[in-house]
Amino acid sequence: MPYSCTVGTCAECRVKLVRGDVDMAEPNCLTSEERAEGYVLACMSRPLSPTTVDIGVAASTGRPVTSSQRDACVNGG
Ligand code: FES
């Protein structure tokens, strides 16, 4: 499973939550659209129940994180 920063700023570990619930630490780089589509960051999430994630979806929809998104994550904005 791809990952890089391990602190929620790169989105390399983005996966789609198929089943279950997670508690995802904030701030992080997910957009509101990604959240609405069910994506989570594996490095920032703790399962609250048995979960299933789709790793392939994340790999096939990879999007670059813009510098402003990264700055917002780092600065909490
Ligand atoms: S490894 Fe960078 S956001 Fe999870």
Q: Is the CB of 41 under 6 A from ligand 1?
A: yes
pLDDT category at 59 given cuts 50, 70, 90 is: very low
Task: Check residue 61 and give left, alpha or beta (phi > 0: left; psi -120 to 50: alpha).
Answer: alpha
Q: Is the CB of 6 under 6 A from ligand 1?
A: yes
Q: How far apart are CA 72 and CA 12, in angstroms?
A: 17
- 31-42: per-residue pLDDT in tens? 999 999 999 999
Q: Is the pTM of this model over 0.75?
A: yes
pLDDT category at 60 given cuts 50, 70, 90 is: very low
Domain boundaries, given as residue ranges, for the chain: 1-61
Atom number, ligand 1, closest to the C-alpha of residue 10:
2
Q: How far is the CA of 4 from the centre of ligand 1 (A)?
A: 5
Homologous superfamily of 1-61: Beta-grasp domain (3.10.20.30)
